[in-house]
Amino acid sequence: MRIGIANDHAAVEMKNEIVKYLEGKGFTVVNYGTDTNDSVDYPVYGEKVACAVRDKEVDLGVLICGTGIGISLAANKVPGVRAAVVSEPISARLSREHNNANIIAFGARIVGLEEAKGICDAFFGAEFLGGRHERRVNLIDEVDKRNHQ
Ligand code: RB5
Protein backbone atom coordinates (compact mmCIF):
# COMPACT_ATOMS: atom_id res chain seq x y z
CA MET A 1 0.00 0.00 0.00
CA ARG A 2 1.16 3.53 -0.83
CA ILE A 3 0.49 6.18 1.81
CA GLY A 4 0.77 9.93 1.20
CA ILE A 5 1.69 12.08 4.18
CA ALA A 6 1.91 15.83 4.74
CA ASN A 7 1.98 18.27 7.63
CA ASP A 8 2.57 21.86 8.59
CA HIS A 9 5.35 23.32 10.75
CA ALA A 10 3.58 22.14 13.94
CA ALA A 11 4.09 18.49 13.04
CA VAL A 12 7.47 17.96 11.37
CA GLU A 13 8.91 15.82 14.16
CA MET A 14 5.77 13.73 14.51
CA LYS A 15 5.56 13.29 10.73
CA ASN A 16 9.16 12.02 10.64
CA GLU A 17 8.42 9.49 13.39
CA ILE A 18 5.21 8.34 11.69
CA VAL A 19 7.00 7.93 8.35
CA LYS A 20 9.62 5.70 10.03
CA TYR A 21 6.89 3.77 11.83
CA LEU A 22 4.82 3.14 8.70
CA GLU A 23 7.87 2.22 6.61
CA GLY A 24 8.85 -0.22 9.36
CA LYS A 25 5.45 -1.84 8.88
CA GLY A 26 6.19 -2.34 5.18
CA PHE A 27 4.16 0.53 3.72
CA THR A 28 5.51 2.75 0.95
CA VAL A 29 5.26 6.32 2.23
CA VAL A 30 5.30 9.36 -0.05
CA ASN A 31 6.20 12.55 1.83
CA TYR A 32 4.63 15.77 0.53
CA GLY A 33 6.32 18.02 3.16
CA THR A 34 6.78 20.33 4.90
CA ASP A 35 10.16 19.30 6.23
CA THR A 36 11.36 22.38 8.09
CA ASN A 37 10.08 24.28 11.12
CA ASP A 38 9.51 27.42 9.01
CA SER A 39 5.92 28.56 9.30
CA VAL A 40 3.74 27.38 6.40
CA ASP A 41 0.02 27.39 5.61
CA TYR A 42 -1.70 24.08 6.35
CA PRO A 43 -4.24 24.26 3.45
CA VAL A 44 -1.36 23.93 0.96
CA TYR A 45 -0.30 20.61 2.50
CA GLY A 46 -3.83 19.33 2.98
CA GLU A 47 -4.48 19.87 -0.72
CA LYS A 48 -1.27 18.07 -1.75
CA VAL A 49 -2.25 14.78 -0.10
CA ALA A 50 -5.92 15.18 -1.03
CA CYS A 51 -5.00 15.54 -4.72
CA ALA A 52 -2.57 12.61 -4.48
CA VAL A 53 -5.41 10.44 -3.11
CA ARG A 54 -7.87 11.72 -5.72
CA ASP A 55 -5.37 11.11 -8.54
CA LYS A 56 -4.52 7.65 -7.13
CA GLU A 57 -0.82 8.50 -6.73
CA VAL A 58 -1.35 6.99 -3.28
CA ASP A 59 -4.01 4.70 -1.81
CA LEU A 60 -4.62 6.52 1.47
CA GLY A 61 -3.30 9.58 3.28
CA VAL A 62 -2.13 10.96 6.62
CA LEU A 63 -2.35 14.66 7.47
CA ILE A 64 -0.94 16.25 10.62
CA CYS A 65 -1.09 19.86 11.77
CA GLY A 66 -1.35 21.34 15.25
CA THR A 67 -4.88 20.04 15.81
CA GLY A 68 -5.53 18.09 12.61
CA ILE A 69 -8.53 20.32 12.04
CA GLY A 70 -7.34 22.94 9.55
CA ILE A 71 -5.44 20.51 7.35
CA SER A 72 -8.43 18.11 7.19
CA LEU A 73 -10.86 20.92 6.40
CA ALA A 74 -8.72 21.87 3.42
CA ALA A 75 -8.40 18.26 2.23
CA ASN A 76 -12.16 17.76 2.40
CA LYS A 77 -12.64 20.48 -0.23
CA VAL A 78 -11.25 18.09 -2.86
CA PRO A 79 -14.13 16.04 -4.33
CA GLY A 80 -13.96 12.35 -3.43
CA VAL A 81 -11.75 12.99 -0.42
CA ARG A 82 -13.02 11.98 3.00
CA ALA A 83 -10.53 13.15 5.62
CA ALA A 84 -11.39 12.20 9.20
CA VAL A 85 -9.78 14.08 12.08
CA VAL A 86 -9.49 11.88 15.16
CA SER A 87 -7.69 11.78 18.49
CA GLU A 88 -7.95 8.07 19.33
CA PRO A 89 -7.81 4.71 17.52
CA ILE A 90 -11.48 3.64 17.75
CA SER A 91 -12.63 6.60 15.68
CA ALA A 92 -9.77 5.97 13.26
CA ARG A 93 -10.95 2.38 12.69
CA LEU A 94 -14.60 3.39 12.36
CA SER A 95 -13.73 6.15 9.91
CA ARG A 96 -12.50 3.41 7.55
CA GLU A 97 -15.17 0.82 8.34
CA HIS A 98 -18.23 3.10 8.23
CA ASN A 99 -17.22 6.29 6.42
CA ASN A 100 -14.67 4.93 3.94
CA ALA A 101 -12.34 7.73 5.01
CA ASN A 102 -9.38 7.89 2.68
CA ILE A 103 -7.30 10.27 4.79
CA ILE A 104 -6.69 10.17 8.52
CA ALA A 105 -5.81 13.46 10.24
CA PHE A 106 -4.65 14.19 13.76
CA GLY A 107 -3.01 16.94 15.75
CA ALA A 108 0.62 16.90 16.85
CA ARG A 109 -0.39 19.28 19.66
CA ILE A 110 -3.28 17.03 20.67
CA VAL A 111 -2.08 13.43 20.56
CA GLY A 112 1.21 11.93 21.70
CA LEU A 113 3.40 9.84 19.42
CA GLU A 114 2.22 6.48 20.79
CA GLU A 115 -1.42 7.49 20.35
CA ALA A 116 -0.61 8.65 16.82
CA LYS A 117 0.93 5.27 16.04
CA GLY A 118 -2.17 3.57 17.44
CA ILE A 119 -4.37 5.77 15.25
CA CYS A 120 -2.34 4.73 12.19
CA ASP A 121 -2.51 1.03 13.14
CA ALA A 122 -6.27 1.25 13.53
CA PHE A 123 -6.81 3.17 10.30
CA PHE A 124 -4.53 1.12 8.05
CA GLY A 125 -5.63 -2.14 9.65
CA ALA A 126 -9.30 -1.56 8.84
CA GLU A 127 -11.37 -1.97 5.66
CA PHE A 128 -14.54 -0.27 4.50
CA LEU A 129 -17.46 -2.53 5.41
CA GLY A 130 -19.73 -1.45 2.53
CA GLY A 131 -23.36 -2.57 2.76
CA ARG A 132 -25.56 0.06 4.41
CA HIS A 133 -22.51 2.26 4.86
CA GLU A 134 -21.97 2.45 1.11
CA ARG A 135 -25.33 4.14 0.53
CA ARG A 136 -24.52 6.73 3.20
CA VAL A 137 -21.07 7.44 1.83
CA ASN A 138 -22.61 7.86 -1.64
CA LEU A 139 -24.99 10.40 -0.10
CA ILE A 140 -21.96 12.42 1.05
CA ASP A 141 -20.87 12.68 -2.61
CA GLU A 142 -24.37 13.81 -3.52
CA VAL A 143 -24.23 16.61 -0.95
CA ASP A 144 -21.01 17.70 -2.61
CA LYS A 145 -22.50 17.62 -6.14
CA ARG A 146 -25.68 19.47 -5.12
CA ASN A 147 -23.69 22.25 -3.49
CA HIS A 148 -20.73 22.51 -5.84
CA GLN A 149 -20.09 26.15 -6.79
C1 RB5 B 1 -0.57 26.46 13.16
O2 RB5 B 1 -0.15 27.28 14.18
C3 RB5 B 1 -1.92 25.83 13.50
O4 RB5 B 1 -2.93 26.76 13.37
C5 RB5 B 1 -2.17 24.63 12.63
O6 RB5 B 1 -1.16 23.69 12.81
C7 RB5 B 1 -3.46 23.86 12.88
O8 RB5 B 1 -3.61 23.54 14.22
C9 RB5 B 1 -4.67 24.41 12.29
O10 RB5 B 1 -5.76 23.82 12.31
Which tens digits make up the pLDDT trace of 7-21?
A: 999 999 999 999 999
- Give the distance (Å) from ligand 1 centre to CA of residue 136: 30
Residue type (1 letter), 47:
E
Number of domains into which the chain is organized: 1
Q: Which residues of the chain have pLDDT under 70?
A: 149
Closest CA to 65 of 47, 52, 80, 51: 47
pTM over 0.85: yes
Asked if 61 contacts 3 with a C-beta cutoff of 8 angstroms, the reply is yes
**9, 51, 65, 148: the active-site residue:** 65
Give the closest residue (by CA) to ligand 1 atom 7: 66
Give the pLDDT confidence score for residue 148 in this predicted structure: 80
Give the pLDDT confidence score for residue 93 in this predicted structure: 98
Range of the domain at 123: 2-146
Ligand 1 neighbours (beta carbon < 6 A): 8, 10, 42, 65-67, 69-70
Kindly report the CATH number assigned to the domain that includes residue 68: 3.40.1400.10
